[in-house]
């Protein structure tokens, strides 16, 4: 699915949203201020009904978006067509040659330099955005897993820190990002910040986040 049908998306002040969508985001730790900052919304109709809308933008505007179900996994009710993904996350994109070179978080990156922190998901990035204002975040997702995307990081920042928990998935994410940065040929410094096993940035407590990021000199 591409960005040719966003007719079911609703955005705006969170207090005007249906309670179930607002409650879902609050339950994930997303503040009303972040809803407005990041342009989050919800789908009230169409194939993505009952999903939260997460725009993925760069400085030029909307490049992609994610739709996150607020329903229990694999519980997509009728009358959804059978081809609609039942996955928690569904990604769609702008159909042009730049569609793969985008990260969630890129909208607020500086022009050049500094430190970027790569995490595994949108809610991880939003957690860091809330508790560490001004930190440049980049959420790893399937459309950021291209060399063009790693080049954006490598040539845009002086340092890149991958923040994940200490499990095989986190290890694999860190390895993929490290290889991509190395293959870029840019003189970027990359490092790994580890959270306790089974703790991701969205679920870790503030002390655990500070400790992990502190090992890499980020905070």
Q: Could you report the per-residue pLDDT of 123-175, keeping only the tens digit for each?
A: 999 999 999 999 999 997 665 667 878 888 888 999 999 999 988 888 988 89
| SS3 of the chain: helix, strand, coil, percent, to 5 | 30, 25, 45
Q: Which residues of the chain have pLDDT under 70?
A: 1-5, 72-101, 141-145
Q: How far apart are CA 129 and CA 105, in angstroms?
A: 9
Degrees, nearest 5: CA angle 37-155-108: 5
CATH 3.90.980.10-classified regions of the chain = 9-93
Cβ count near 144 (within 10 Å): 26
Query: CATH classification of 106-214 is 3.40.1360.10, yes or no?
Result: yes
Query: CATH classification of 9-93 is 3.90.980.10, yes or no?
Result: yes
CATH 3.40.1360.10-classified regions of the chain = 106-214
Structure tokens at 76: 């997509």
């Amino acid at each position: 699915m591409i960005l040719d049908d966003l007719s079911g998306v609703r955005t705006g002040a969170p207090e005007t949203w249906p309670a179930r969508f607002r409650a879902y985001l609050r339950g994930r730790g997303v503040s009303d201020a972040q809803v407005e900052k990041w342009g989050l919304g919800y789908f009230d109709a169409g194939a993505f009904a009952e999903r939260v809308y997460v725009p993925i933008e760069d400085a030029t505007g909307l490049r992609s978006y994610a739709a996150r179900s607020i329903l229990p996994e694999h519980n997509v009710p009728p009358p959804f067509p059978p081809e609609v993904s039942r996955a928690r996350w569904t990604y769609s994109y702008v159909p042009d040659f730049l569609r793969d070179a985008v990260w969630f978080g890129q909208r607020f990156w500086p022009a050049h330099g500094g430190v970027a922190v790569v995490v595994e998901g949108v809610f991880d990035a939003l957690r860091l955005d809330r508790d560490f204002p001004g930190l440049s975040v980049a959420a790893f997702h399937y459309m950021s897993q291209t060399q063009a995307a790693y080049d954006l990081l490598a040539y845009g920042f002086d340092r890149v820190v991958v923040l994940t928990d200490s499990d095989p998935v986190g290890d694999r994410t860190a390895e993929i990002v490290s290889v991509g940065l190395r293959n870029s040929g840019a003189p970027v410094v990359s490092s790994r910040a580890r959270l306790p096993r089974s703790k991701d940035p969205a679920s870790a407590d503030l002390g655990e986040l500070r400790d992990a990021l502190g090992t890499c000199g980020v905070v």
